[in-house]
Amino acid sequence: MRLDDCLTRAAGIWPDRPATCYRGRSRTWRQVHADVSTLAAGLRTLGVAAGDRVALLGSNSDRYLDCFFAASWLGALVVPLNTRLAPAELETCLWDSGASVLAADDTAPGVTAGLAGDLPELRHLVHIGEAPAPEGFLAIEDVAGGKACDRAGGGGDMAAGIFYTGGTTGEPKGVVLTHDNLLANAWHMLPALGWSEDTVFLHAAPMFHAADICCLVAVSVVAGRHVILPRFDAGNVVRAIEENGVTALGLVPTMISALTTALDGRPLPTLATMLYGGSPMPEELIARTRRALPRVRLWQAYGQTEAAPGLTLLPPERHEPGPASKSRSAGQPLPGCEVTIRDPLTGAEPPRGEIGEICGRGDNVMRGYWRKPELTGRALRDGWLHTGDCGYLDNDGFLYVAGRLDDMIITGGENVHPAEVENVICQHPAVAEAAVIGVPDDHWGQRVHAVIVLRPENGPGIGGLVEFCRGRLAGYKCPRTVEIREALPKTGAGKADKKRLAARIPADE
C-alpha cells in the first residue's frame, strides 16, 4: 500500500463526510482528494518526479496536509522540517536531502528566495501560507490551479519521507521511513485506540513531528476528521475542542499541564482520548488531569522517529491508582512490535528489572539514515533498532524509560538517570516542570543539577526540595543544586531541551 491510498479510500467510501477544518475553512474527503491530486499535478509540472524530495517548513495547516499527501501521490519523498531549527540548520537539512521543492508558510524563519542560490538542487519555493506569496515564491493556488494527474507507481517498501532528528545535538540525521513503516505504525495503534470515521482529531502538536504524522495517517486511514490549529495554545485548544466536537488529540505532558490550567472548570464532554508521549506524566499531573477531565482516557506512547514512531502503549486502566497501576511505565509493546533490553557493551539481555539499552523491531522500523551508512549500521544491528534510550522491563513486560544513554549522569562513580529524578521532583506540589542535567563538579566529576519551573501560585522560591527528594531517592541521586526559571527551553517536539540548558541558553532565545 501507499500513503495516499488513505485518500482514495476515504473519498470513495465517505466522499461527503467532513475531512479537514482549519481557520474556518472546511473540506470533505472528496474535496481533499481533489485538492491533493491537483497539487500533485502542479508539482509534477515543476519537475517533481518519483524519488525526488519535497520539503515542508511551516506551522500546522490544511495545506501542510495536502503537501504531505501530494508528495506520496507522485512517489516523491516528503521532508518535514522542524520550524525551531536555526536557518543554518535548515539549510543543512535542505542540502543533505537534496530537496528540489520547498513548501513554506508565513512563519518560516530565515527562508527567502536567496536560499535557492545557495542550494543548487532546490529549484522552486512554494508559498503555503495565508498572506500573499513573497518575492521568489510561487503561490500554492497557482501551482495547484490545473487539472488532476494520475498517481505514480510505488508504495510498500519504497521510501515515503525523510524525517530529520538530532538537529540540536550536531549534524541532523535524516530518518528514512517507507510507506509500509508509516502505515504499519498507524495499524499498530488503531485497534487499541478504537478510532473510526467518527473520530475528530485535533492537531495542536507540530505536524512536522513523527508522532503527529502517525496520527495524521491513522485518522486518514479510517476517514476521520482533522481539526488543525497552527500551533499549540492552551486557550485555543479548549475552544477548538468545544467548537468542533473534538474526540481525540495528542500532546506532550507540558502541553497537558497547560491545558488543565486553561480549562477553568470546562468539562469538554466530547473529548474521549488523549494520547501523550515524549516522557511519562508525573503522577500529580495524571491526578490533576483525571480530576479536570474524568471522562478522558489517557494513553501514553513511547518510541522514536526511527520507529515511525511508536513501540509501546500504556492503556488508560494502567494509569489508575492501585496495585494494578503502571503509571510510571511507558506500557507494553504494540501489536506488531517487539521490545527488548540489551547491555550496551556486551549486547547480552540482562535480567528483568536491570537497566540497559532499549531495542525494538517491527514493520514500523526505519530503512536507515539518509546517506549515512555508518550511522545506520550502528542503529540497526542484529535485526534490532538500538534506540539509544536506556530503561528496563518489569516481570509483566512493561517498559520503564530511564532516559538517553548520553544523558546519564555519572556522579562519584554512580550512574544517575535524569528521568528518575525528574519524576520525583515533579511530585512536589510547587513544581510545574523539571529538567535534570549533569554539570561539571571538581569533587564528584558531575553533580545532579535540577532546573525547575514553579507553579504560578507558589511565588518566587521553593523550600525543602532536596529534603523532599531524599525521602524518595538515594542520596547520590538527589539534586545538589537547584535553579529556578520562568520557562524551560523546548525542542520542536515540546520536550525540555537539555543541550540548551547545559549551555545556559534562556528559553526565549
CA angle 121/123/126 to nearest 5° reads 130
- Which residue blocks in 328-464 are alpha helix, DSSP H? 373-379, 418-425
- Tell me, yes or no, whether 350 and 435 share the same domain: no
Beta strands in 89-240 (DSSP E): 101-104, 124-127, 138-139, 159-165, 173-178, 200-203, 225-228
Question: Do residues 128 and 205 share a domain?
Answer: no
> Are residues 450 and 302 both part of a single domain?
no
Question: For the segment 342-367, what is each residue's pLDDT rounded down to a tens digit?
Answer: 998 899 999 999 999 999 999 999 99
Going by pLDDT thresholds of 50, 70 and 90, the confidence category of residue 110 is: low
Q: What is the mean pLDDT of residues 197-223?
A: 97
pLDDT interval class at 403 (50, 70, 90): confident
In a domain, 419, yes or no: yes
304 with 395, same domain?
Answer: yes
Q: Give CA–CA dist 169/176, Å, rounded.
A: 19
The residue behind cell 476521520 is 224
CATH code (residue 431): 3.30.300.30
Say whether both 271 and 350 belong to one domain.
yes
**Has residue 67 been placed in a domain?**
yes
Rounded mean pLDDT, 276-287:
84
Q: What is the span of the domain harbouring residue 226?
A: 182-376+386-405
Burial 149-188 (b: 16+ CB within 10 A, else e): bebbebbeebbbbbbbbebbeeebbbbbbbbbbbbbbbbb
Residues 247 and 293 in one domain: yes
- Whether 92 and 118 have beta carbons less than 8 Å apart is answered as no
Tell me the residue type at 203: H
Q: Which three cell numbers stand for residue 461?
A: 522560591
Which CATH number does the domain housing residue 112 bear? 3.40.50.980
Position 300 scores a pLDDT of 96
Residue 301 falls within a domain, yes or no? yes
Residue 169 within a domain: no
Same domain, 356 and 482: no
Residue 174 within any structural domain of the chain: no
Mark whether 352 and 440 lie in a shared domain: no
- Residue 104 and residue 130 share a domain: yes
* Domain assignment present for 172: no
Q: What would the pLDDT profile of 299-334 be if each residue is shown by its tens digit? A: 999 999 999 999 999 999 999 888 888 998 999 999
Q: Provide the pLDDT for residue 168.
A: 38
Are residues 119 and 237 both part of a single domain?
A: no
Amino acid identity, residue 418?
Answer: P
In terms of C-beta distances under 8 Å and separation of at least 24 residues, what long-range contacts does 428-436 make, across chains too?
A: 428/462, 428/465, 428/468, 429/284, 429/455, 430/454, 430/455, 430/458, 430/462, 430/465, 431/455, 431/462, 431/465, 432/257, 433/254, 433/257, 433/488, 433/496, 435/488, 435/496, 435/498, 435/501, 436/409, 436/479
| Statement to judge: residues 58 and 143 lie in one domain | yes
Average pLDDT of span 167-176: 71
Residue 306: CATH number of its domain:
3.40.50.12780
Asked whether residue 381 is domain-assigned, the answer is no
Question: How much is the mean pLDDT over the chain?
Answer: 91
C-alpha cell of 147? 487539472
Q: What is the pLDDT of residue 414?
A: 80
SS (H, E, C) 434-469: EEEEEEEECCCEEEEEEEEEECHHHCCCCCCHHHHH
Which is nearest to 89 in space by CA: 165, 163, 171, 173?
Answer: 171
What is the number of domains present in the chain?
Answer: 3
How far lies 24's CA from each of 20, 21, 502, in Å? 10, 6, 42
Flag the least confident range among 154-163, 379-388, 398-407, 485-494: 485-494
Any domain includes 173:
no
CA dihedral 34, 40, 46, 51 (to 10 degrees): 180
- Could you check whether the bond before residue 269 is cis, i.e. omega within 30 degrees of 0? no
Whether residue 479 sits in one domain with residue 366:
no
